Amino acid sequence: MHSLENRINSYKAWMQSEECTPNTLSMSGLYAEKGHLTTKCYFCSLTLKEWSSSDIPTKVHFNFSPKCCIFNLSKIQSRKKTFIKEIWPHSLDLAEKLSSQNFFLFIIKNEIPDEIFCYKCGYNTCELKNTENLVHALEHKKVCPVKSKQQLFTLKPNSPLFYVNLFQGKYISAFISFIESEIFIPNEHKEKYKRLLQYGQCYNIFDNVDTCLESALHCLVQSYEERLDKLIEEQIKSLQNFIGVSRKK
């Protein structure tokens, strides 16, 4: 139940409710266990039973298990706990370094096992075998835009901290859309689009395909302009050298 996708799929049958839904339960780290209205937290192993339709999952979970790591991500030790070694595809040494850069592991889709987020600003990345992605992640703390002194989890709305808003359910719609999104790209074009998007380095679950392509194309145009400027500069220098030699003759 390491991913949000798996936790949602664990709810084969559930009561009708506007608040206590498979999506809100799963976002709070809870998955369905055998037994009527029984759930367990993937992160702290808390078991909760006899849910009612009016229950708010995050509030209930927090009240019963305030020390669960997902409610204490302002602490480096709690962030480290999210990098569970049986799931995390990289070294534990890297997990420690990323934790020190404000990151925690929160897997959304099964096929992306290294999805990390900054607990403060929500900057996210994955595929850390990609050198550029890794470099950005390991230098993130000094460029994180959120300077709020608030650190503790709260049930009050509109927190300046990403992780508080995340587990309050603010981003459920975006995450569910990300899980359900399927874009068909013919095999002969997959590598081309993959290279284009990687060139832009615009991976972000809150971005749509148009935004990613726009960012990637902007990077390409900028690169071509820089190369063109360099080429023009070289041609001017070459011409100046030629004129200088001709005058000496």
d(CA 60, CA 28): 10
Residue 9 pLDDT greater than 80, yes or no: yes
Output Rg (C-alpha) for the chain, integer angstroms: 24
d(CA 136, CA 126): 11
**Six-digit token pair at 214?**
């726009």
Amino acid in position 248 = K
Residue 118 and residue 139 in one domain: yes
Q: Return the SS3 of 52.
A: coil
Residue 75 and residue 51 in one domain: no
Domain of 217? Answer: 187-248
Mean pLDDT for the chain overall: 86
Residue 216 and residue 234 in one domain: yes
Question: Helix 92-100 vs helix 131-138: angle between axes, to the nearest 10 degrees?
Answer: 50
Looking up residue 154, the CATH number of its domain turns out to be: 1.10.1170
Q: What is the pLDDT of residues 222-237, one digit of tens each?
A: 777 888 888 888 888 8
Looking up residue 11, the CATH number of its domain turns out to be: 1.10.1170.10
Q: What is the pLDDT of residues 88-120, one digit of tens each?
A: 999 999 999 999 999 999 999 988 899 999 999
Give the residue from 65, 85, 101 where a domain finishes: 65
pTM of the model: 0.73
Number of domains observed in the structure of the chain = 3
The reported pLDDT for the residue numbered 131 is 86
Q: What is the pLDDT of residues 45-95, one digit of tens each?
A: 999 999 999 999 999 999 999 999 999 999 999 999 999 989 999 999 999
Q: What is the pLDDT of residues 15-43, one digit of tens each?
A: 888 899 999 999 999 999 987 789 999 99
The reported pLDDT for the residue numbered 49 is 93
